[in-house]
Amino acid sequence: MVTAADHTPDPEATVLMARLGFASGQVVQEFGYDSDVDDDLRFAIEDHIGAELEDEDYTGVADAVLFWWRDEDGDLADAVVDALASLEEGGFVVLLTPKSDRAGRVDPALIDESASTAGLHTSGSVNACPGWTATRLVAPRSVRR
């Protein structure tokens, strides 16, 4: 078992955390945790926010959702909609999917469609860690007049 004490932060982690939208003091709820997730990324997020990630059983309000998703996990749109129930207004989802050369990869068009169904849109993707791509899902900005 890997623990946070075993983790050595990557010097580039602060840049990645900012790009993904994580900030100190945030409550981040994690969904889809399994043995294939990247513990170094998880620990970098915990280091950055200054707290442990909340699990799927958390009943409070979260500032952000960290969602590990594989193609075989079911209906992505339904899962994102369900995750929004615990999300603070103005919060965001970081969707982590296997990279295109890995089993369980998720078609980017499905991510866009699922985000739209949930009332969100994608605001960029990054190679978050070995094996996983992160896509940020956010509420559309209101139209300014």
Per DSSP bridges, beta strands 121-129 and 87-98 are unpaired
At residue 140 the predicted structure's pLDDT band, cuts being 50, 70 and 90, is: confident
The string of DSSP letters for 5-21 reads: GG----TTHHHHHHHHT
**Predicted confidence band of residue 12 (pLDDT cuts 50, 70, 90):** confident
pLDDT given for residue 2 in this prediction: 52
Determine the pLDDT at residue 10: 61
Phi, psi angles (nearest 5°) of residue 133 = -110, 135
- pTM for the model stands at 0.89
Distance of CA 84 to CAs 4, 24, 58, 118, Å?
27, 21, 13, 8
Confidence of residue 36 (pLDDT cuts 50, 70, 90): very high
Any idea of the CA torsion for 38, 42, 48, 53, to the nearest 10 degrees? Answer: 170
More confident residue, 69 or 11: 69
In the chain, where the domains are located = 4-91+98-136
